[in-house]
Amino acid sequence: MLRIGVDVGGTNTDGVLIDVTRLHEPTRGVLAHFKAPTSPNVSDGIENAVRQVLTIASVAPEKVSCVSIGTTAFINAVLEADGRRLAKVAVVRISGPYTRQCPPFIDFPPRLRALTEGHVGYVDGGLEIDGREIRPLKEEQLIEQCRLIREKGLKNVVLCGVYTALDSEGKHEVQAAKIMQRELGPSANIVCSRDVGQVGFLERENATILNASILTFAQRTIRGFQAAMNALNLSCPLFLTQNDGTLTNAASAARLPIRTFASGPTNSMRGAAFLAGLDEHRAGAQRKSTIVADIGGTTTDVGILLPSGFPRQAASFIEVGGVRTNFAMADVQSIALGGGSLVKAHETSQGLHVSVGPESVGHYLTRDAKVFGGDILTTTDVVVASGRAEVGTKEAVSGLSTDIVEKAMANMKKMLEGIIDKMKTSPEDVTVLLVGGGSIVSPDHLEGVGEILRPPHYSVANAVGAAMAKVAGEIDTIELLQGRSIHDVIDNIKAQAIDKAIRAGADPATVKIVEVSNLPVQYVTNQATRIIVKAAGDLAPEAVASVGAIDNALEASNEDEYKEDDKAASADVDEEESIDIEKYKPTIRPDRSWVLSELDLEWIAEGCGVMGTGGGGSTYPPFLMARQKMREGKEILVVDPDDVPEDAYFLRCMFMGSPSVSSERLQGGTELPAAVRALTTYMGLKLDDDVYGVISDEIGGGNGLEPIIVAATMGKTVLDADLMGRAYPNLYQTLPGAYNVSGGLWPCAISDAIGNTVVLPSASSRTSVETILRTITTELGSSSGLTMPPLKRVTCQNFGVTHSVSQAWRLGRAVALCRKKNDLKGIPSKILEIQNGACVFIGKIVDVSREVRKGFTWGSIKIAPLMEDEEEEGIASASSAPVPYGPDDRLVIPFQNENLYACLEKADGSSKILVTVPDLITVLDSQNGAALGTPDYRYGLRVTVIAMAADPKWTTTSEGLTTGGPSAFGLNQVEFTPIAKYKPPHSVIAEFA
Ranges of each domain in the chain: 1-85+214-277+455-469+539-576, 87-212, 471-538, 587-807, 821-989
Beta pairing, strands 117-123 & 89-94: parallel
Q: Is the pLDDT of residue 59 over 80?
A: yes
The class of domain 87-212 in CATH terms is alpha beta
The class of domain 1-85+214-277+455-469+539-576 in CATH terms is alpha beta
According to the model, what pLDDT value does residue 550 have? Answer: 44
Instruction: Report the C-alpha gap between 805 and 834 in whole angstroms.
Output: 13
According to the model, what pLDDT value does residue 100 have? Answer: 94
Sign of torsion, CA 963 968 969 975?
A: positive
In terms of Cα–Cα distance, which of 441, 506, 514, 428 is closest to 470?
506
User: What's phi and psi for 410, nearest 5 deg?
Assistant: -65, -40
pLDDT band at 558 (very low <50, low <70, confident <90, very high): very low
pLDDT band at 880 (very low <50, low <70, confident <90, very high): low
115-119, 271-275, 790-794: segment of lowest average pLDDT = 271-275
pLDDT band at 566 (very low <50, low <70, confident <90, very high): very low
> For residues 260 and 70, is the Cβ–Cβ distance under 8 A?
yes
**Mean pLDDT score of the chain:** 87
3-class DSSP state for residue 321? Answer: coil
Q: Is the pLDDT of residue 390 over 50?
A: yes
Q: Is the pLDDT of residue 519 over 70?
A: no
Q: Strand locations in 20-140, DSSP E?
A: 30-37, 64-71, 89-94, 117-123
* Percent of the chain residues past pLDDT 70, beyond the cut: 91
Average pLDDT for 332-358: 88
User: What's phi and psi for 258, nearest 5 deg?
Assistant: -65, -25
> For residues 700 and 727, is the Cβ–Cβ distance under 8 A?
yes
Instruction: Report the C-alpha gap between 670 and 425 in whole angstroms.
Output: 43
In terms of Cα–Cα distance, which of 789, 787, 803 is closest to 639?
803
Q: Is the pLDDT of residue 876 over 70?
A: no
Q: Is the pLDDT of residue 652 over 90?
A: yes
Q: Alpha carbon 464 to chain centroid distance?
A: 29
Burial class (CB in 10 A: 0-12, 13-18, 19+), 57: middle
pLDDT band at 563 (very low <50, low <70, confident <90, very high): very low
Q: Strand locations in 560-667, DSSP E?
A: 587-588, 594-595, 637-639, 649-657
Average pLDDT for 118-139: 93
Q: Cβ atoms within 10 A of the Cβ of 483, count?
A: 7
According to the model, what pLDDT value does residue 557 have? Answer: 42
According to the model, what pLDDT value does residue 549 have? Answer: 43
pLDDT band at 572 (very low <50, low <70, confident <90, very high): low
According to the model, what pLDDT value does residue 873 have? Answer: 41
What topology is assigned to 587-807 in CATH? CV3147-like fold (3.40.1610)
List, for residues 780-826, the tens digit of each pLDDT value: 988 899 999 999 999 999 999 999 999 999 999 999 999 988 888 89
According to the model, what pLDDT value does residue 595 have? Answer: 98
Helices (H), 671-825: 671-683, 687-690, 706-714, 735-738, 766-779, 793-798, 804-820
Q: Is the pLDDT of residue 454 over 70?
A: yes
Q: Which amino acid is at 208?
A: T
pTM exceeding the 0.85 threshold for the entire prediction: no
Q: Alpha carbon 353 to chain centroid distance?
A: 37
Sign of torsion, CA 157 162 166 170?
A: negative
28-42, 166-180, 607-621: segment of lowest average pLDDT = 28-42
According to the model, what pLDDT value does residue 279 have? Answer: 67
Q: Is the pLDDT of residue 158 over 90?
A: yes
Q: Is the pLDDT of residue 665 over 80?
A: yes
pLDDT band at 553 (very low <50, low <70, confident <90, very high): very low
pLDDT band at 884 (very low <50, low <70, confident <90, very high): confident
CA distances from 294 to 35, 259, 265 (A): 16, 22, 8
According to the model, what pLDDT value does residue 568 have? Answer: 44
Q: Is the pLDDT of residue 552 over 50?
A: no
Average pLDDT for 46-64: 92
pLDDT band at 270 (very low <50, low <70, confident <90, very high): confident
Average pLDDT for 738-748: 96
